[in-house]
Every structure is written in structure tokens, then in C-alpha cells.
Structure 1
């Protein structure tokens, strides 16, 4: 008796696709959650970059030509020069400088309100931690991509601002000197370092306060406080240059000011009661001090990049400390 034929084996079910790893999933969620902020930031960067390109190119050339025509005019005679080009270059330089200077404050406010504050306030962060994303990975994902975007965009704007200033230096009579506070902080390395400090300070404020609006204010205030402290400390973080001038000449040397005063008999320094020996009463006060000369400590133009490097190094150190503090705080609260 023959055996009944056996049924062929059922085909194996197709293997289920592997779940996406944590990093890509976090990246997609981060981009979707902050898409409006990303679009607004991209628009801001593009508009500011275009304005700086126009400022350093055609607008500065027109203003330089107008100033050349103005200097060619004889004193007391009426002459024609393009005053509108001069005013337009001056106004746009001021606006673009303020735009670059607001970047660290904007980054800090956004990081405190939206990056960490809103998610901790709404409970979205804890929901993600229960779905296989560790708190450390959650925070790392929220800092890594914004740090990359902030660094690239701010570096672009700072480089364009430096280039636009260089295009007008020596050609436009109303151009700001390099040691002007706004000009100094809008170019070079400091805007990038300040923006990264703002990112870390805002993220820490969001975790610490757990509410978006208070964290927004705290992040921006922290950056403003650090910026003010750096402004007062930076001239003393690099050796300055000293110039000595006679009493009839007054203090000499132009650059980033550090301190000035008078030299008395014996070479000791003292505060200057006045800086113009020809002014009424000034000569007598200097003689009572037994002053022999004026002195001035300052940073010349050659110190621009050393000051930028020192300031950026200090800010990056503060950024690292704020980042470590944010991770420690998160670990302690989610232990």
C-alpha cells in the first residue's frame, strides 16, 4: 500500500525589515519637529549673506567712488558726489553687523525654548526615553546637528562680514575701525564661538528649568552675561603694547584700548587727572603729581587674530563645561 504524498512545505514568511537605528530615527524626528525653525534660519542666513555680498561688492565700490569725489572738492565750493551711496553703505553695514551680532542670542533663545525646554515641558522627551532612546542619546542628537548647522552658517556670515569690512577699510571715510566693538565681535572667530556657547547655554537652561519661556529668557541672558564678561576680560588676556608720549603731546597710539595714565618721577604709573596739558588747569594738576609723560596700553591691528583666537578658546571652554553640565543634569534626573 503506497503512502499518501506529503504536501510541499509552506514557503517561509519574508523576514520583517529591521527597525531603524536610533540615530536616523532621532534625526528624522528632530528635522520634522524643528522644520519651521530650520526654514526660518536658512532664510535668515541666505538674506544676511546676500546683503553682505552686496555690501562688500557694488555698494562699497559706489561709496568709495563717492568719497573720492567728495575729497576732490575744494574747500568751500559746492560739488557733486553721490551722497545716497555713502548713506546706503553706512546703513546696510550697521544693519548687517547687528544681524550677525544677534545670532548667538537667537541660538540661545531657540535652544532653551524649543530644543530642550518645550520637549521637557510637554513630556515628549520622557515619551521618547520609554521607546528605546536613552536620555544621553536624546540630548546628543539634539546638540550635534544644530551645532553643525550653527557653526557652518555663522562662520559663513562672519567671514562675509569680515570681507565686507575689509573692502571698505581705507576707501570709505565712514568705515568703522577694526577695534570698534560691534565690528570686532561680528567678524573673525568670536561669532561662531558665541553661537555655540548660546546653543549649550540654551540647552542647559531648558533642562534645568523645564519650561520653554523661562528657558528662552535664561539662555539669552546667560549668553549676554558671558559676552559682557568676555568684553571686559579680553583686552587683558593678551599682552598689550605701550606707547609713551610727552605731556604736550598727550597719549598716543590707536587700537583696542586697555588703560592709560601718566608716568611720574621714578617711572611709576598713576591715574591721569586730565589728558590735555594745554587745557586750562590741566598743567597745574600734572605738575602737582610730578608727571613726566603720558602712557597708553592698547592692542594694535596686528593683535586682531590673537585676540580672536584667545576669546574663541575661552568661549569654547565655557561651551564644553556647559555641555558637560547638561549631560550630568540629565543623567541625575533620569537615573
Structure 2
């Protein structure tokens, strides 16, 4: 009796191979290795500066301010002025670096992630190797989104720790409602960076020119942030603080409006800021003013404003992703067939 013939094993390199997505991610990391290294260096340097800021620099500056305040009105006072200036400078530089991070992401996404690949033909080559355009774009958005969200979130956390360490200890520390500090301490930079990633990817697909996409994505992100910044005070109901004419307007936080109240409850523009000034007292009396008022967001509104603004940015990012997939589908739905360029 003869043995039954043995069937040959099925080839392992088919287009639907289950290990294709990991290969795409490895190729993505290899293709954009310089950008990954630069971004890693940026995060490490900025993070180290923030740790330095929240530790030794804060302690040295707080000690210097304590010495300065102990001098009172003495003619000669000995304190470490360099420590105060150094803290202020490092705080400013790290805050600027953190707020610039979303623009770096947008520029890279437009200029390299999709712009350069569509311009050079690398994307078209991938589509001819069994990778569908939709999967190609999904791979280029998923991994960078995770890396950007985690690294930007880490920098935000370190910035908030550094700011908290100096709160109440350093006389020149920025208040929470200083807009640069407000943004750098919350979730807005993370959402803005993700929106920048999506805007850059869309511009790269639309323009198919790396330099043009880089520039346009940066401008679009700047316009988006300016819009959110303008709308931010109106994303959550304000609190009205009413004060006497003698005391003037009161209430600290993000101010959206102030003026005077009449006996009928009308709101009028305040001609001056205190009834203690003789000329001001006369002007307020002519208006029939009885109180000052100020519409303000107190510190309790910090996280509602942050989360609402971040939600708006994430919604915009989702729309940009949908638009990117739509543009890609239209560009690759030509007569060349599946995955072929139009």
C-alpha cells in the first residue's frame, strides 16, 4: 500500500497575513525615525527642565523671596536675586516650549507624515503592496496619536507640578488665570496637539506638497487655537461679583465684563473704578449707579473650561480625520482600481 501524498504547506506571505499591521508600524517608525528622535529629545529636555523648575529652582527662588520680604524697608538687603530671575526665565521658556508642541506636531504631520509620502510616491508604493489606502492612513494616525497624547500629557503634568510647587511661595509666580499658565496646566495642549496631527494629515493629503502642507497645517492650527481662545470665556456660565461703589469692582479670575449697576438693574459701562475719588463719585451719581459688578470665572471654573475647550478641539479633530479619509478615498478611487491613484 502506498502512502497518501503530503500536501505542501500554504504560503505565509499573503496580503491578509495577520502580522501585516505590526509590519506597517515598524515601517512607519523606521521611515520617521529622525522625527521620533527629535521629538523624544524635545520631551526629555523639556521634562528635565520642568523637574528642575519644580524642585531646586522653586526652593531657591522661594528662599530668595523670603529673604527679600524680611528686609522690609532696610536700606541694604541681601538676597539671591539670580535665583528669582532664573526661576522666572526657566518658567517662561518651558511654558513656551509646551505651548509650541502642538505646532511642531502639526508641522511634522503636514510636512512629513502624509505630505512627503504622497509627494515622493512612498504612499503609492505602499498601496501596491497589498496595503489599502484606508489602512495606510489609519496606521499613520493611530501610533502618532498615542505617542503625542502620552508625551504631551506628561509635559502638562510636570508643568502643573512645577507651578503648584511655587504657588504661594514665590511672589512673582503666575496666577492660574494667566492665559499661558492656564493652557499649559490643563488638557487643552493635549487636545490641540491631536487636532494639529489631524490637520497636518489632512493638509498633506489635500496639497500633496510637504512644504505647503507644513505651512498650511501650522496656520490652520493657529487659527483653531485663536478661535477656541476667543470662545473660551463663553463656554461656561460666569459668576457675577457685586461690590460697593466705595470698593470698586472685585473678583479675581478670567474676567468677561464689568461695569456699574443702576437701581433698576441696568448694566452700564463704568466711567471710573472707585467712588472714593471725588470726580468719579460725581460721575457715578450722574449715572444713577448703586454698585459695581464684574462677570468672572473663578478658580472653580478651571476644569470645566479646560474640559469643555478640550472637547471642542477633539470634536474638530474627529471631523478632520473623517475629512482626511474622505479625501483619500476620492483620490484613490480612480480607474487604476483598488488602491490605485486617481
TM-score range, shorter chain: over 0.9
- Residue 13 of structure 2 aligns with which residue? 18
Shift of 1:49: 0.5
SS at match of 1:322: helix
**Alignment match of 1:88 (pick from 67, 75, 86):** 86
- Other-structure match for 1:69: 67
SS in 2 for 1:102: helix
- In structure 2, runs of 5+ residues without a counterpart are 334-342
Match of 2:167 among 166, 169, 178: 169
Provide the rounded CA distance (Å) in 1 between the counterparts of 2:316 and 2:146.
18
| 1:100 alignment counterpart | 98
1-structure distance, mates of 2:185, 2:47: 13
Taking the aligned partners of 2:282 and 2:207, their CA distance within structure 1 comes to 59
Q: Give the TM-score normalised by structure 2.
A: 0.91
- Cα distance in 2 for partners of 1:132, 1:252 equals 66
| Distance in 1 between residues matched to 2:281 and 2:220, nearest whole Å | 46
CA offset at residue 272 of structure 1?
A: 2.2
The answer to whether residue 310 in structure 2 is matched with residue 312 in structure 1 is yes
CA deviations 1:212-260 (Å, max 9, x no partner) are 1111111111111111111111111112111111222211011111111
Question: Counterpart in 1 of 2:192?
Answer: 194
Larger radius of gyration: 1
**Per-residue CA shift, 1:77-122, capped at 9, x if unaligned?**
3121111111111100000000000011110011010001111111
Q: Mark the runs of 5 or more structure 1 residues left unpaired by the alignment.
A: 1-5
Name the residue aligned to 2:27: 29
The answer for the alignment partner of 1:3 in structure 2 is none
What residue is the counterpart of 2:208 in the other structure?
Answer: 210
Q: 1:18 to 1:97 in 2, by over 3 A?
A: same
For residue 171 of structure 1, give the secondary structure of its aligned residue in structure 2: coil
1:264 Cα shift?
1.9
Indicate the residue corresponding to 1:56 in structure 2: 54
**Cα offset, 1:12, TM superposition:** 8.2
Superposed, 1:181-330 pairs within 5 Å as 181-279=179-277, 281-330=279-328
Q: What SS does structure 1 have at the residue aligned with 2:82?
A: helix
Q: 1:327 & 1:209 partners in 2: Cα distance?
A: 14
1:16 Cα offset (Å) = 4.8
Between the aligned partners of 2:245 and 2:258, the Cα distance in structure 1 is 13
1:178 aligns with: 176
CA distance in 2 between partners of 1:12 and 1:246 (Å): 95
User: RMSD of aligned C-alpha atoms?
Assistant: 2.0
Q: Does 1:40 align with 2:38?
A: yes
Residue number in structure 1 paired with 2:337: none
Quote how far apart the aligned CAs of 1:261 are. Answer: 1.4
Deviation, structure 1 residue 11: 9.4
Aligned pairs, number: 329
C-alpha separation between the residues in 2 aligned to 1:215 and 1:280? 60
SS at match of 2:60: helix
2:135 to 134, 137, 159: 137
| Distance verdict in 2 for CA 1:206–1:280, change over 3 Å | farther
